[in-house]
């Protein structure tokens, strides 16, 4: 059986977890560590404003100050002096895989949240041992508790993902509005210059307003229409100067 590609596997992470592993990779390189380890990843997740992991820590009675101290000490124990990253550690890759298995098969989710990472780690003896090796505080985590709390835990990462989607849609609407205004300007200029054949572009206004153009196509058409509008405006501007 063929192996699961790393790109496909890490593509299952939700935006919060993926951004954290990217930050962990940069953090690892800056520290001169050869491998991106679980401690890099968990350290970066905890640097974010909120996540499933934050809520799990709060609900488990973990001492945040003690945990932060333990993670710093675990980072300091890693070998240093590497000029480049050799690879991701096997623990990181296995954690993603186990989080994906539990998230998809048990909870019916298509993306791996940080809460599913924790559950997958706790349900896998070797990963649980690696996690408690980073801090004894992690021994307070009980998988049964978090299996029951999966809905409230999941809401944290879900809110972050929903906010990101809203921002993306807002940017798309803004782009479509720019194209619509460019079309209107072109129509006005076409009427002023008696170039009625250019009015054909106005037929795309309905598609723009209905949101039928995707972001890439809207940007492309917007640039074309704006260039045409400038080309039409330039001769009129020169004629006005000659009259004056």
Supply the CATH number for residue 46's domain.
1.10.1780.10
Using alpha carbons only, how large is the chain's radius of gyration in Å? 27
Q: Which domain holds residue 59?
A: 6-148
Q: How confident is the model at residue 5 (pLDDT cuts 50, 70, 90)?
A: confident
- The last residue of a domain, from among 114, 148, 182: 148
What are φ and ψ of residue 80, in 5° steps?
Answer: -130, 175
> Is residue 112 domain-shared with residue 208, that is, in the same domain?
no
> Is residue 76 domain-shared with residue 133, that is, in the same domain?
yes
> Is residue 173 domain-shared with residue 144, that is, in the same domain?
no
Domain-embedded: residue 1? no
> Is residue 10 domain-shared with residue 104, that is, in the same domain?
yes
Domain-embedded: residue 87? yes
Look at the chain and report how many structural domains it folds into. Answer: 2
> Is residue 16 domain-shared with residue 112, that is, in the same domain?
yes
**Inter-residue contact 45 to 111 (CB < 8 Å):** no
Domain-embedded: residue 175? yes
Domain-embedded: residue 90? yes
**Inter-residue contact 32 to 82 (CB < 8 Å):** yes
Spatial distance between the Cα atoms of 101 and 187, rounded to a whole number of angstroms: 55
> Is residue 115 domain-shared with residue 176, that is, in the same domain?
no
pLDDT in tens, 210-229: 454 555 565 566 566 656 65
pLDDT in tens, 137-152: 999 998 776 564 455 4
Which range among 41-45, 99-103, 198-202, 207-211 shows the weakest confidence by mean pLDDT?
198-202
What are φ and ψ of residue 212, in 5° steps?
Answer: -85, -10
pTM value?
A: 0.62
pLDDT in tens, 24-66: 999 999 999 999 999 999 999 999 988 999 989 988 999 999 9
């Amino acid at each position: 059986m063929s192996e699961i590609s790393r790109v496909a596997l890490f593509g299952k992470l939700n935006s919060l977890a993926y951004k954290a592993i990217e930050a962990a990779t940069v953090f690892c390189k800056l520290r001169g560590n050869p491998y991106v380890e679980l401690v890099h990843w968990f350290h970066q997740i905890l640097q974010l404003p909120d996540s499933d992991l934050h809520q799990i820590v709060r609900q488990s009675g973990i001492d945040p100050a003690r945990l932060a101290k333990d993670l710093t000490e675990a980072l300091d124990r890693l070998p240093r002096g590497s000029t480049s990253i050799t690879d991701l550690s096997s623990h990181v890759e296995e954690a993603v895989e186990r989080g994906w298995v539990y998230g998809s098969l048990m909870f019916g989710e298509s993306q791996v949240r940080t809460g599913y990472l924790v559950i997958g780690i706790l349900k896998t003896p070797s990963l649980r041992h690696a996690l408690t090796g980073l801090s004894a505080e992690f021994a307070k985590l009980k998988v049964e508790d978090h299996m029951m709390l999966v809905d409230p835990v999941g809401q944290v990462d879900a809110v972050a993902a929903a906010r990101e989607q809203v921002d993306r849609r807002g940017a798309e609407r803004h782009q479509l509005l720019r194209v619509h205004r460019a079309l209107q300007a072109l129509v006005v200029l076409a009427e002023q210059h008696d170039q009625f054949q250019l009015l054909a572009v106005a037929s795309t206004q309905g598609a723009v307003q209905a949101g039928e153009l995707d972001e890439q196509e809207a940007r492309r058409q917007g640039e074309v229409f704006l260039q045409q509008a400038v080309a039409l405006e330039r001769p009129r501007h020169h004629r006005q100067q000659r009259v004056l």
